[in-house]
Structure 1
């Protein structure tokens, strides 16, 4: 792959993501360089570009899934990836705004195989940098001078409001014993699905797609986003820390009411009831109990349900992609969607 927009006919999801990073990193770095020095230092550390002292670092960057969706969505409707770079950068900035805040709210100490920004620079700095990345995302879209820049900003801010609404509900779940499965699904649709849908919609707008194409591409992204959350929740229980960058059983340790957990807790079977007895007690879960909880989530059907949901959502998303009538890059979008919904567990 090259940065010219020309790609081989056959490639892997990893090829697409590498191409995306090469295509968008210069613009992303240029945007980050406009920040005040302290904010730039924290943001660059969080993005994996340098260590806490500002020395260049290798690795640690995100997968660039959302920017990839934006670039490919633009090409799918006959536009260019280059035209959609502002959309790609904007969604990546919003994504990292949410990660910085999530790490603080969840108390996560590790992300991308190293300490989270708040543990290095303090909670206040991490929150403020998250705020400034959100502002910067809108500025990037405005500075693009695309004829639909205002529409794009409103679409992105709507996705952010949905993301925040989902986060509000997710936090509320922590203090609630009973959470219904449909509530949990709705939360994930907003918290995760909204931004992936926005990435596809923004890319389509910057590729000058029709209103109908924008709607179908957004539905494609939202479906992939919810499927992604199912898989991410599975990885939060059974994922390999060497791959996920998080500690083993990280979601169970904090008693997070993730999709497979809620599916198991609401299952009317012995394993679900035994799981509830362990999950709702006040005492911290010991290491051997975490193993037991994971086994109970699986025995109650939560693991299989989430994987089945991810597969079904992927199939429905592919139908929306077909209805968007892509002129090219449908294979790349399909490959990327399958990649994010079938990560190794």
Structure 2
């Protein structure tokens, strides 16, 4: 059964999720009702007809990072709540946009927003969400509010540039792991690093750069886990059809790692991925998944996740002096390394 939106059985993290959801709903209500309805549908608060629903609001990854980093020194995390909401809006706008680009018709086990309301309307709503995120940041009384908005704006620029690279990679079989990691640095790494930075900024805690670096590592961990599930995950885990990433020939970490191997299995995989047509067939994707595993794509991805997790956690004792906050964020990091999307 799919999660209803709770992250883990962890009272403090669950309470932070509830705080984010309440503040997020208040923020979304500032939008035009038509736009607010589409956003509420995406978050699972409403169905396609505008009726109240409880389809799960997602895990509020960006917002949680902002709040947990705000408590790094034992400080009150509430001053960082606007930053958490702004990052959630921007993160989910990117998710809605990704669904359109990838033509994914499902999200969290039900129809994606664009497949209900249309791609054009959903893209316009994504723009409104990003604008609202900037507005929320700039209206805060914190002296660095304008700098926070610039930080989020640059993160979104990097995200879109990386997304262009990701699309380009789909038509190439010569993508290197260094190219892939550079793309992810501007995509998932940046979008996880930014809320850590902004949460610490609004709570005036020290060690901002160290927390941002932790967020970057965590973003890569999340992306690697996402890549793994995109091939070997089940619909119950991902809320999407099986092998959906392979169907579109996405050059995820396991695929790129496999293509960097040598031998007949690698050559057969490259041949399958180079076939003409908009998407691979069911038999081709199933065969490709077998070949990727045989070429070491699965095992290498699992090792990379573990190595990055250790690298992310090791410096936390220096940058997070509060034991409770450090325990909470380590729990979050371990969950990202092992959870469904």
TM over 0.5: yes
Report the CA distance shift for 1:303/1:228 in structure 2 as closer, same or farther (over 3 A).
same
TM-fit CA distance, 1:135: 0.7
Q: Which runs of 5+ in 2 are unaligned?
A: 1-6
Q: 2:278 matched to 1:321?
A: no
Q: Which runs of 5+ in 1 are unaligned?
A: 1-10
Instruction: Write out aligned runs for 1:69-148 (5 A).
Output: 69-148=65-144
Q: 2:274 matched to 1:280?
A: yes
Q: Which residue of 2 aligns with 1:217?
A: 211
Q: Which residue of 2 aligns with 1:44?
A: 40
2:202 pairs with 192, 202, 206, which one? 206
1:266 pairs with 260, 282, 286, which one? 260
- Describe the SS at the equivalent of 1:93: helix
Query: 8 Å contact 1:16–1:68 — kept in the other structure?
Result: no
Aligned length: 333
Query: 8 Å contact 1:17–1:64 — kept in the other structure?
Result: no
Q: Which residue of 1 aligns with 2:57?
A: 61
Root mean square deviation of aligned Cα:
1.7
Report the CA distance shift for 1:291/1:16 in structure 2 as closer, same or farther (over 3 A).
farther
Q: 2:250 matched to 1:256?
A: yes
1:303 pairs with 268, 279, 298, which one? 298
TM-fit CA distance, 1:322: 2.4
Query: 8 Å contact 2:67–2:84 — kept in the other structure?
Result: yes
Cα deviations by residue, 1:220-265 (Å, 9 ceiling, x for unpaired): 0100110110000000011110121011011011111111111111
TM-fit CA distance, 1:14: 5.0
The TM-score, its normalising length taken from structure 2, stands at 0.93
CA distance in 1, matches of 2:159, 2:318: 26
The TM-score, its normalising length taken from structure 1, stands at 0.92
CA distance in 1, matches of 2:142, 2:56: 32
